[in-house]
């Protein structure tokens, strides 16, 4: 098993020096990665370079991958507009990083801003809202750099079945 992404070291973490591992942010499966880090379609900006899309049916339970505090949610978007992220949940962790769960089903978000969550807390259901080419969960970990958020490498705590990065122009 090779981690999904090479983790960046995080000072003060015991063990191997790797940053925290994230629990799989869904229930059910197995599911497949439909776009990985650095994809040509949408994972090619500093904000989303290390994001991963996991193809899954609409209505799949989405769970908190790491403990923290909910800092933002959108729950009422029906389709592609106005926000390319669609419906989402954003969680800030103790180290200041944030995980974001995008393209969630309208009306399915179960948490609110300011709420503390633990690993495995039900957040919402997967969907196909925003700039989405099909039902999936877009998951990204970001840190604040200057005035914006920048995605950072992360790893899941257990293996994820993967397919080639369909968004890449590489064969």
pLDDT digits (tens, 9 = 90+) for 7-34: 344 444 333 445 789 999 999 988 888 8
SS (H, E, C) 13-47: CCCCCECCEECCCECCCCCEEEECCCCCCCCCCCC
pLDDT of residue 162: 53
**Contact yes or no for 59/126 (Cβ under 8 A):** yes
What is the spatial distance between Cα 171 and Cα 55, in angstroms, rounded to a whole number?
20
Residue 34's pLDDT is 86
DSSP 8-state secondary structure symbol assigned to residue 105: P
- pLDDT tens across 107-165, in order? 999 999 999 999 999 999 999 999 998 999 999 999 999 999 999 999 998 877 654 44
CATH superfamily assigned to domain 21-156: Glucose Permease (Domain IIA) (2.70.70.10)
3-state secondary structure of 75: coil
Q: What is the pLDDT of residues 36-92, one digit of tens each?
A: 776 666 777 778 889 999 999 999 999 999 999 999 999 999 999 999 999 999 999
Residue 33, SS3?
Answer: strand
Q: How far apart are CA 22 and CA 154, in angstroms?
A: 8
pLDDT surpassing 80 at residue 2 = no
Q: Euclidean distance between the first and final Cα of the chain, in Å?
A: 23
pLDDT value at residue 88: 98
């Amino acid at each position: 098993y090779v981690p999904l992404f090479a983790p960046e070291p995080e000072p003060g973490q015991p063990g191997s020096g790797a940053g925290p591992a994230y629990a799989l942010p869904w229930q059910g499966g197995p599911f497949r990665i439909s776009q990985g880090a650095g994809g040509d379609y949408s994972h090619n900006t500093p904000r989303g370079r290390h994001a991963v899309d996991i193809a899954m049916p609409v209505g799949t339970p989405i769970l908190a991958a790491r403990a923290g505090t909910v800092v933002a949610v959108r729950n009422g978007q029906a389709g592609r507009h106005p926000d390319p992220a669609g419906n989402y949940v954003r969680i800030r962790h103790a180290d200041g990083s944030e995980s974001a769960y995008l393209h969630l089903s309208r009306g399915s978000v179960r948490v609110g801003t300011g709420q503390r969550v633990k690993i495995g807390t039900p957040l919402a259901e997967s969907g196909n809202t925003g700039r989405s080419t099909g039902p999936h969960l877009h998951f990204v970990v970001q840190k604040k750099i200057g005035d914006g958020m920048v995605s950072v490498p992360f790893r899941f705590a257990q293996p994820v079945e993967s397919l080639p990065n369909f968004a890449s122009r590489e064969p």
